[in-house]
């Protein structure tokens, strides 16, 4: 084996992995349904910029990205990709890719700067999103709108701790959602309430690597906070789904759901019942935590309740009634997925603040075998079989049509590449091809209903605590000039989806 390596961010790419990305072996392109839609995804804080422009208020990410010492690689989203002022250029860019849909989020503090139900509305913010939606529709691109993508107004955090006060947050989130439905719902037919509640709860309120940065080391109770946050999200989602169904759906004819992320987990030792059980338990602690109450109208998974005990909040009788009422209203399952990991059962009892189900996540199994080539992020390995298995797991458990709301990867070493090197993103093309084949196989061979696919991301952008290092975009962004340059993966996706839907593959 050739052991030559070159630096790729926080990890390295071996020469054999480089060959994996570019070798000419054929990837069988399997068909997709004729009505299968595709597009790209972004999030407001990651691309918009305009941090204080036209009356926008602060979010927790405006605060978190300016902390000293920096938690975000000495970078922030003040300008980001400047989408706020370059929106028309970005609309034309999407149109040139012939996308069917565009998934974006509304910055809560841009439309209600202070965030609360009694606080003033910023009509400049409303007008911006109105122009964006109208511009999409004029180009025959359907908007998929996420209400909350991690950027709660800072004022609500200062007033009552945001998610840590369920009653207050739920009331303010309902008010924000009602504003969005009333102003945009005549044109928006697909809504997402929250993006990745697991990340909000664990990364924001357990490890503290994302805003608002809560952790035991920072003086917060990581034994309790993540579960309170998750509880708040579940109940706020259900309340908004109920409100939408009652007040808006009859006239607007839209659908609403939530976006859950998750790795798939393979047992660290496939011959061990202990590690097979650990893989299933990890999926329940990751996805079932939110999916079971939201999509089944059930309590938290039994294994979670058994381990967590009183740390896990209880649903009241009224809350369970609301969950059962709104569960059938979830018209689709929004799936964000990037990679697969091995799950190893830990020996001994779980620690006091364990959030994994007493499971260790690993990139290699008991035989030292890895799941696949590593991308530009150490945790993200190419593992399309796990993607197919996750779609089956979700379908079997919730039996809802799936929309892939995020999927993609950064190429190894991409952040150090020249423009010409970066746009020739063969590693990403290979990744996309394998993951799209996994969707086709899940549909045709397994009977899973998958309706559409959103690539992450439309363009390189601010990747949260990693700053501007990882580049996930199918469009290159020069962060000095903000020039957009299509990568080869954009053309690949356009042509591939056309061919797959027509059966011309």
Q: Give the whole-angstrom CA distance, residue 5 versus residue 14.
A: 5
Average pLDDT estimate for 183-206: 98
352 is catalytic: no
Instruction: For residue 436, give the CATH number of its domain.
Output: 3.20.20.80
Of the listed 225, 406, 414, 463, which one is catalytic? 406
pLDDT in tens, 258-288: 999 999 999 999 999 999 999 999 999 999 9
For residue 329, what pLDDT band results from cuts at 50, 70 and 90? confident
| pLDDT exceeds cutoff 90 at 26 | no
How many structural domains are present in the chain?
Answer: 1
What's the domain range around 268? 5-502
196 is catalytic: yes
| pLDDT exceeds cutoff 50 at 9 | no
pLDDT in tens, 377-434: 999 999 999 999 999 999 999 999 999 999 999 999 999 999 999 999 999 999 999 9
Taking the model in full, what pTM does it have?
0.95
| pLDDT exceeds cutoff 60 at 237 | yes
Of the listed 18, 168, 196, 463, which one is catalytic? 196
CB 222 within 8 A of CB 206: yes
Q: What is the mean pLDDT of the chain?
A: 94
Q: CA dist 121 to 57, 116, 127, 175, 400, Å?
A: 11, 10, 11, 11, 36
């Amino acid at each position: 084996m050739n052991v030559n390596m070159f630096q790729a961010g926080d990890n390295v790419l071996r020469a054999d992995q480089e060959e994996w990305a570019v070798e000419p072996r054929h990837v069988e392109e399997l068909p997709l349904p004729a009505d299968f839609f595709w597009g790209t995804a972004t999030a407001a804080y990651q691309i918009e910029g305009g941090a204080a422009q036209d009356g926008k208020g602060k979010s927790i990410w405006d605060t978190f990205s300016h902390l000293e010492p920096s938690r975000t690689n000495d970078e922030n989203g003040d300008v980001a990709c400047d989408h706020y002022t370059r929106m028309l250029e970005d609309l034309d860019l999407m149109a040139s890719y012939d996308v069917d849909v565009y998934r974006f989020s509304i910055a809560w503090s841009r439309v209600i700067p202070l965030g609360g139900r009694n606080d003033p509305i910023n009509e400049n913010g409303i007008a911006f999103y109105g122009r964006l939606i109208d511009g999409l529709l004029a180009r025959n691109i359907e908007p998929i709108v996420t209400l909350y993508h991690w950027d709660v107004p800072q004022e609500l955090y200062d007033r009552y701790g945001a998610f840590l006060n369920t009653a207050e947050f739920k009331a303010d989130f309902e008010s924000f959602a009602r504003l969005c439905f009333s102003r945009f719902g005549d044109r928006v037919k697909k809504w997402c309430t929250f993006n990745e509640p697991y990340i909000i709860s664990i990364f924001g309120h357990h490890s503290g690597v994302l805003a608002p940065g809560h952790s035991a080391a920072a003086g917060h109770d990581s034994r309790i906070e993540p579960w309170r946050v998750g509880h708040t999200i579940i109940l706020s989602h259900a309340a908004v789904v109920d409100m939408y169904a009652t007040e808006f759906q009859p006239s607007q004819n839209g659908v609403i759901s939530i976006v859950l992320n998750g790795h798939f987990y393979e047992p660290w030792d496939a011959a061990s019942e202990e590690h097979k059980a650990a893989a299933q338990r990890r999926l329940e602690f990751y996805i079932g935590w939110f999916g079971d109450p939201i999509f089944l109208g059930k309590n938290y998974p039994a294994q979670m309740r058994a381990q967590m005990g009183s740390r896990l909040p209880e649903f009241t009788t009224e809350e369970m009634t609301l969950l059962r009422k709104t569960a059938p209203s979830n018209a689709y399952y929004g799936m964000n997925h990037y990679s697969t990991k091995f799950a190893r059962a830990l020996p001994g009892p779980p620690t006091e603040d364990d959030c994994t189900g007493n499971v260790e996540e690993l990139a290699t199994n008991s035989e030292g075998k890895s799941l696949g080539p590593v991308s530009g992020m150490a945790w993200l390995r190419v593992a399309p079989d796990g993607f197919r298995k996750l779609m089956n797991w979700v379908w079997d458990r919730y039996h809802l049509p799936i929309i892939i709301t995020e999927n993609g990867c950064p190429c190894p070493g991409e952040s150090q590449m020249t423009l010409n090197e970066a746009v020739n993103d063969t590693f990403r093309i290979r990744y996309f091809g394998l993951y799209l084949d996994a969707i086709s196989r899940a549909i045709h061979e397994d009977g899973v209903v998958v309706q559409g696919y959103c690539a992450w991301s439309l363009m390189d952008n601010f990747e949260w605590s990693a700053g501007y290092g990882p580049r996930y975009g199918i469009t290159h962004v020069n962060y000095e000039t903000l020039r957009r340059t299509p990568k080869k993966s954009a053309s690949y996706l356009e042509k591939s989806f056309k061919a797959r839907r027509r059966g011309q593959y």
